[in-house]
A and B are shown apart, each in its own frame.
Chain A
Amino acid sequence: MGENMNKQAQLDPPPGMVEKRGSRLWLTHLLMIVGILVVFFPIWLAFVASTVTQVEIVRPPMPLWPGDQFLENYKRAIFSGVNVPVATMLFNSLVMALGIAIGKIAISLISAFAIVYFRFPGRTMLFWLIFITLMLPVEVRIVPTYEVVAGFGLLNSYSGLIFPLIASATATFLFRQFFMTIPDELAEAARVDGARPMRFFVDIVVPMSRTNIAALFVIFFIYGWNQYLWPLLITTEPDMNTIVMGIKQMFPSGDDTADWPVIMATSILAMIPPVVIVISMQKLFVRGLVDSEK
């Protein structure tokens, strides 16, 4: 793909031949900015709501410009919250997201290494077994999976949050694909030097895969952080709630008015970690996204 694009760049005439200047250009910028404002509006409104008082919200229309309650609302959310301090939920989400990302990458790296660099009985069958798991999202097997986790006594535990979501055919395939591109000479040299397979894995394969590992880490961290249904089912104690599922629990049942400033502050806090990761690792993220969907 990359090679093709380079060739293409050489064949292309210099840019600027197709009209890109003139009166149309500012219109393009304008449309783009309008589009971004529309797309951004929900986030902006949540931010504004997290900086004003409850009274300002329940008497519509609420202001569209931030107020002066920022510290007040966020302090209240983080240290007391509604059912449980948001700090606790943030910590639970962090453990879950890191556990899923690291776990998925670790088990996929070693299983892809086994599949690519060894011939062993049952290899093809095991490969297909992993392949089939692609077709089984949590959402379609929730009741029996819940029963398994409950049977192990893992309700309200980090293991229960992490393990069922850890098996990943996607990562195994990506690593397999990548290992195929590692020159055979390297493995050959390692064998001639009498290096054990695990030496080769640790000294050559893992360091060479670090960009892929980083890209997948970004994707899986967000995947883990944004989980909703699974934590909703297995964390019945507020202490174990993750932030993304905990927001819904902050709404009162019945006719009471929701504590909107705190709920919106929590929503903002829930989106900050994934947004920061996506924005700061944008290149890796786009690459990971495109790779993992291939």
Chain B
Amino acid sequence: MEKRVTFRGWLLPLLLIFPQILISGIFFFYPAGQAIWQSLFIPDPFGLSSQFVGLGNFEFLLSDKYYLSSFLTTAIFSTLVTIVSMVPALFLAVLADRLIKGAGAYRTLLIWPYAVAPAVAGVLWLFMFNTRVGVVAWYLGQLGYDWNHVLNDGEAMGLVVLASAWGRISYNFLFFFAALQAVPKSVIEAAAIDGARFWRRLFTIVLPLLSPTTFFLLVVNIVYAFFETFGVIHTTTAGGPQQATTILVYKVFSDGFIGQDLGSSAAQSVILLVVVGALTVLQFKYVEKRVHY
């Protein structure tokens, strides 16, 4: 796409684009370059000099069982967050779509959690499941279930997944609802005339028509789980117990700022850059597809 009519001159446009390029340069490209550069060195313990190790940091990471387990943790975490946030959202959207009256009011109520910051969501969920004062933990105790996410790996994972997926239910609901509203009513009517009941129509017609939205949401939610859930982890479990909820982004932070292991943290940043790059490409592939669709 190109404009047919343009203005003359080159100084003005360069001035106009300058602020964005300047800020991108200082806060995006220079730091990213630094990350790549630092990933090739190991600084000495006093930070006075550093030794070039080539791909040594990467080799070390890829054979480090803590790093590999963090990869696995991230995979499990993002899969669960995606499922737990998409399935209820789809269910609620299907319900809302069936209602002619009141759908707007329900939507207003359901949007609310989206506006709640992940870190605040973490605090709210921590409060419910707190081992000493948490209401949900207490009622679980009454039922004979001893909830303790401070000690139990699985329960810690459950807590961070719930807290992370919660706000995303709103987000996914909005997209599913919009997509459902756009399904041509004539197709549904035709199937109804042919005698297909609601559930059959849902699974054979409506859900397949939603597949572009579903795919899009899959990618977006995985990106969210990878990169935007730091606040949840930091406020609820701080990566523990041991490393049970240390996802990759949290590990970059804890190795870099708490452990002061700059070379390793930089190498982890570079690996994450590759992951974001791949996910972004995937996202754009989808956009391209939708144009034809």
Q: Does A225 contact B (CB under 8 A)?
A: yes
Q: Contact at B272–A140, with CB atoms within 8 Å?
A: yes
Bound complex: CA A257 to CA B106 (Å): 38
Contact of A244 (CB < 8 Å), options: B3, B27, B120: B120
Interchain CB contact (< 8 A) of A110 among B17, B118, B121, B262: B17
Take A141-B31, A188-B5, A289-B174 as given contacts and tell me if A135 and B14 are in contact as well, using a CB distance cutoff of 8 Å: no
Chain B nearest CB from A50 CB (Å) reads: 11
The stretch that binds A, out of B56-64, B66-74, B122-130, B144-152, is B122-130
* Residues of chain B contacted by A28 (CB below 8 angstroms): 95, 98-99
Contacts of A289 in B (CB 8 A): 171, 174
| A210 interface contact, C-beta 8 A | no
Q: Does A167 reach chain B (CB closer than 8 Å)?
A: yes
Q: Find A184's partner among B5, B19, B102, B139 (CB 8 Å cutoff).
A: B5
For the complex, is A102 an interface residue (Cβ under 8 Å from B)? no
Cβ-defined contact, B14 with A120, below 8 A: yes
Complex CA distance for A165 and B116, rounded to whole angstroms:
19
| B108 adjacent to chain A (CB < 8 Å) | yes
Could you say which of A5, A136, A198 has the most chain B C-beta atoms within 10 Å of its C-beta? A136
Query: What total of A-B pairs shows CB separation below 8 Å?
Result: 313
Interface residues of A in 261-294 (CB under 8 A from B): 263-264, 267, 270-271, 274-275, 277-279, 282, 285-286, 289-290, 293-294
Contact status A140-B252, CB under 8 Å: yes
Known interface pairs A17-B189, A20-B98; A110-B115 also in contact (CB < 8 Å): no
Q: Are B112 and A279 in contact (CB under 8 A)?
A: yes
Is A39 a contact of B280 with CB atoms below 8 Å? no
With both chains docked as a complex, state the minimum distance between the C-beta of B67 and any C-beta of chain A, in angstroms: 15
B287 cross-chain contacts in A, Cβ below 8 A: 294
How many residues of A are counted as interface, with CB atoms below 8 angstroms from the partner's CB atoms? 111
Q: Say yes or no: B1 contacts A180, CB within 8 Å.
A: yes
Cβ distance B85 to chain A, nearest Cβ, rounded Å: 11
Contact call A187/B5, Cβ cutoff below 8 A? yes
A-contacting residues, B1-43, CB 8 Å: 1, 3-7, 9-10, 12-14, 16-17, 19-21, 23-24, 26-32, 34-35, 38
B117 near A270 (CB under 8 angstroms)? Answer: yes
- Judge if A95 is at the interface, Cβ distance under 8 Å: no
C-alpha spacing A188/B6, complex, angstroms: 8
A108 and B20 contacting across the interface, CB-CB below 8 Å: yes
With a CB–CB cut-off of 8 A, which chain B residues contact A118?
Answer: 6-7, 9-10, 12-13
User: A283 to chain B: closest CB distance in Å?
Assistant: 11
Q: Mark B181-204, 1 if CB is under 8 A from A, else 0.
A: 010111011001000001000000
Please give me the residue from chain B that is nearest to A37 by CB atom: B109
**A229 and B186 alpha carbons, distance in the complex (Å):** 48
Contact of B125 among A15, A42, A184, A229 (CB under 8 A): A42
- Consensus secondary structure, chain A interface: helix
User: A247 CA to B178 CA in the complex, in Å?
Assistant: 35
Least CB distance, B161 to chain A, in whole angstroms: 14
B243 within 8 A of A: no
Known: A144-B32, A279-B108. A62 touches B135 (CB 8 A): yes
CB-defined interface of B201-227 with A at 8 Å, one 1/0 digit per residue?
A: 000000000000000100010000001
**B10 pairs with A121, CB closer than 8 A:** yes
**Given that A11-B184, A39-B169, A139-B252 are contacting pairs, would A278 and B6 also be in contact in the complex, using a CB cutoff of 8 Å?**
no
Taking CB as reference atom, which chain B residue is nearest A1? B182
B77 interface contact, C-beta 8 A: no
Are A136 and B17 in contact (CB-based, < 8 A)? no
Closest B residue to A294 by CB, please name it. Answer: B287
Given known A-B contacts A8-B184, A58-B132, A136 and B88 have beta carbons under 8 A apart: no
Known A32-B95, A248-B235; judge A107-B252 contact (CB<8 A).
Answer: no
Interface assignment of B230: CB less than 8 Å from any CB of chain A: yes
Contacts of B20 in A (CB 8 A): 107-108, 110-111, 130, 167, 172
B120 proximity list for chain A (CB < 8 A): 226, 244, 247, 267, 270-271
A contact set with B: CB distance below 8 Å: 5, 8, 11-13, 15, 17-20, 24-25, 28-29, 31-32, 35-36, 39-43, 45-46, 49, 57-58, 60-62, 64, 107-108, 110-111, 113-123, 126, 129-130, 132-137, 139-148, 163-164, 166-167, 172, 179-180, 184, 187-188, 191, 197-198, 200, 222, 225-229, 232-233, 244-245, 247-248, 257, 260, 263-264, 267, 270-271, 274-275, 277-279, 282, 285-286, 289-290, 293-294
Q: A5-B182, A184-B5 are in contact. List 14 more A-B contacts (CB 8 A).
A: A25-B99, A32-B102, A39-B166, A39-B169, A42-B128, A57-B133, A110-B20, A118-B7, A122-B14, A129-B21, A139-B253, A144-B31, A264-B127, A286-B178
8 contacting pairs across A/B (C-beta < 8 A): A17-B189, A60-B138, A114-B12, A119-B10, A133-B29, A142-B252, A148-B27, A229-B230
Closest 3 CB pairs of A and B: A226-B117, A144-B31, A228-B231
